[in-house]
Structure 1
Amino acid sequence: MRVTDLTLGLLTLLGGIAIYISAWGFKAIPGQAYGAGTMPRAIALVTALTGLFIIVKAVIAGERLPGLKLAEWTASTAALARMAAVLVLILAYILLSPVLGFLPTAFAVMVLAMLVLRVRLIIALPVSLVAVVAIQQAFGKLLLVPLPRSSFLSFLW
């Protein structure tokens, strides 16, 4: 799927406006000329200007209506089925990780997703194992993000 430039410009402009509006209520720091909303508003301004630039460029190029152009692979039912299977696996992770824990659930989901996407098992297993351990260490240990724990793998923490 390809988003037309006019659509992308409109979405970018609207995103910039939304960021600016959401930062409107941030309080100023007493005694300072700037506050918590300064950086979000600056980002919003740059985002909105980028959106306007993309819109002008698209109009000059002859685009008149926003829209989507579907990629060629969307005509393949097998590709759509693989995409749906990966979405089901993501939903399964959301539902099962609080019960089974992050490590076993994420490992199973990654292996199954790779198999659905036609990756060989001999590649899917080690890549999933390394990825799950790296994610657990990065988020669980380094960034202190509370990942769902498994009662039978609690020794890993």
Structure 2
Amino acid sequence: MRMNDAVTGGVFVLLSAIILFAVRGFPTLPDQPYGPGTFPTIIAAVMMVGGLALVWSGVRSHAPLVTVADWMRGSATLHRMAWVPGFVVAYIYLSKPVGFPLLVPVLLGAFLAITTGKPARSAIIAVLGTAALWLLFAYVLRVPLPLGLLTEVIY
């Protein structure tokens, strides 16, 4: 699917307007012209300028707002897309009791097998991907991932 720049720019302009509206009520620091709303205001202003530039570019191109590729029109694509929220909900509800190291390879492997049709390769990628994510989040970024069933084994 390809979206016209005017659509993307319109989303950026809308988001920046919401941010500007939300931060206008932030308090300022005593005896200083800036406060907690200064940085979000600067970011929103830059975002709005970029969004307006995208809208201008999209309007000048005269391209359709959304173009859907032929491969996306089939029911198989919709079927694969329907699995995404299911896997997200499964992770949300099962991550604490089952744990990240046991749940993610199963979910990732199943998702890759559904989308690619190659279960053996999907299993290998799922295990290696989970190990890489575990190392990145648990050891490099120090984000505690749920261990679930492995809590007693690891600690």
Summarize deviations over 1:87-133 as a string: whole Å, max 9, x none.
32222222221221111111100110110112533322232222212
1:17-96 pair list within 5 angstroms = 17-62=17-62, 67-96=65-94
After TM superposition, the structure 1 stretch with the greater mean CA deviation from structure 2, 145-154 or 44-53, is 145-154
Amino acid aligned to 2:84: V
1:10·1:55 contact (CA, 8 Å) conserved in 2? yes
User: Partner letter of residue 13 of structure 1?
Assistant: V
Q: Distance in 2 between matches of 1:22 and 1:119?
A: 46
In 2, the alpha carbon distance for the partners of 1:48 and 1:73 equals 34
Contact 1:90 1:109 in 2 (8 A): no
Letter in 2 for 1:58: G
Letter in 2 for 1:19: I
Residue aligning to 1:150: 148
Conserved 8 A contact 1:111-1:124: yes
Preserved CA contact (<8 Å) 1:3 1:69: yes
TM-score scaled by length of structure 2 = 0.82
Question: What residue number does 1:4 align with?
Answer: 4
Unaligned runs of 5+ in 1: none
Task: Please tell me whether the aligned partners of residues 107 and 128 of structure 1 are also in contact (alpha carbons under 8 angstroms).
Answer: yes
RMSD: 2.4
- Alpha-carbon spacing, 1:122–1:113, altered in 2? closer, same or farther (3 Å): same
Contact 1:9–1:55 (Cα < 8 Å) also in 2: yes
1:113 alignment partner in structure 2: 111
Count the aligned residue pairs: 155
Aligned counterparts of 1:17 and 1:110: Cα–Cα separation in 2: 37
Instruction: Find the aligned partners of 2:61 and 2:79 in 1 and give their Cα distance.
Output: 36
